[in-house]
Amino acid sequence: MDRDGTSHINEEKAHILVVTYPIQGHINPLLQFSKRLASKGPKVTLIIPSTTIRFPANASTSLISVAYIPDGHEEGEILSVDEELKQFRAVVSRTLGDFIQEQVESKFPPTVLVYDAVMVWALDIAREQGLHGAPFFTQSCVVNAIYHLVHHGLVKIPVLGPFSLIPSAPLLEVSELPSLVTNTELYPVLMSMVIGQFSNLKGAKWILVNTFFELEEQVAFYDFS
């Protein structure tokens, strides 16, 4: 504290950016992660790429800041899943970069970008701005492991029969597997996006997974290389 009573604690507070893919199953875990992270002391800004969706008025986000950036989607616009994914990447790559640049030049410049793992290209944007990058996998370790094996060519797709993930686990029936590995023609761009989550992990500073560890300990520690 200065002699005039002004404190510099807030000015020195770490600032962490968190960006989520804008669908509920991704927003919820990253929102909860952001609030838990903020409870430890740093300033946390949750970034939601969305032109039309906003948090309801009663949503509890008091611990964090929430920022919205354009995603290029116009209300009432009808696109196929693959068209929407392509447009999302093209627009958000730019708007996220612009937002991070604004924050870097602000009073509280960020040092880390935690990004939804399906937005794999966000790591390049973070590093271009001098930030560390950390992917956050919203799906369970089992699903991550399946996609990881597909990415490295260790499992042939489409999977047409019972699937053994690790020796000590029971066989998984086709109905229990992610639909993208059993029907590869369903959404080819989405398939490429989820498998691509593992393409640049070596460039990440940390890797974060949304899981209940005691339920997935064997998978979490299994060597899939």
pLDDT digits (tens, 9 = 90+) for 63-96: 899 999 999 887 667 788 888 899 999 999 999 9
How far lies 68's CA from each of 31, 57, 61, 96, 200, in Å?
13, 15, 14, 10, 26
Does the structure show a pLDDT above 70 at 3? no
Instruction: Tell me: do 41 and 134 sit in the same domain.
Output: yes
Could you give the angle at the alpha carbon of 187 between the alpha carbons of 209 and 122, nearest 5°?
40
Q: Are residues 123 and 167 in the same domain?
A: no
pLDDT of residue 51: 76
Q: Categorize the per-residue pLDDT at 6 as very low, low, confident or very high, splitting at 50, 70 and 90.
A: very low
Q: What is the identity of the amino acid at 142?
A: V
Instruction: Report the C-alpha gap between 56 and 48 in whole angstroms.
Output: 14
The verdict on 163 and 127 lying in the same domain is no
| Structural domain includes residue 205 | no
- At 118-139, the pLDDT tens digits run 999 999 999 999 999 999 999 9
> What's the confidence (pLDDT) of residue 75?
66
Q: Which residues contact 12 (CB under 8 A, 6 or more apart)?
A: none
3-class DSSP state of 114: strand
Domain check: are 133 and 145 in the same one?
no
DSSP letter (8 states) at residue 89: H
Query: What residues are labeled active site?
Result: 26, 116
Task: Report the domain count for the chain.
Answer: 2
Closest CA to 42 of 124, 115, 150, 114: 114
Whole-number pLDDT of residue 186? 84
| Residue at a domain's end among 138, 156, 188 | 138
Report the C-alpha gap between 163 and 224 in whole angstroms. 15
* Crossing angle between the packed helical segments 81-104 and 188-195, to the nearest 10 degrees: 40
Q: What distance in Å separates the CA atoms of residue 22 and residue 47, rounded to the nearest whole number? A: 9
Q: Are residues 124 and 167 in the same domain?
A: no
Q: Please, are residues 142 and 161 in contact by the beta-carbon 8 Å criterion?
A: no
Structural domain includes residue 207 = no
pTM: 0.86
Note the pLDDT tens digit of each residue in 13-38. Answer: 799 999 999 998 999 999 999 999 99
Is residue 134 located within the same domain as residue 158?
no
Are residue 98 and residue 154 in the same domain, yes or no?
no
Answer yes or no: do 8 and 104 share one domain.
Answer: yes
Helix axes 213-221, 141-151, angle to 10 degrees: 20
Check residue 149 and give its pLDDT: 93
φ, ψ dihedrals at 132, nearest 5°: -75, 150
- Residue 4, domain member (yes or no): yes
> SS3 of 151, please?
helix
Residue 132 confidence (pLDDT): 97
Domain that holds residue 77: 1-138
CB 103 within 8 A of CB 17: yes
| Residue bearing the bigger pLDDT, 22 or 59 | 22
Residue of 55, 47, 42, 80 lying closest to 186 (CA atoms): 80
Each residue's pLDDT tens digit, 136-171: 999 999 999 999 999 999 999 999 989 888 887 788
Residue 47 lies in a domain: yes
Residue with tokens 């990058």: 133
Does 159 lie in the same domain as 51? no
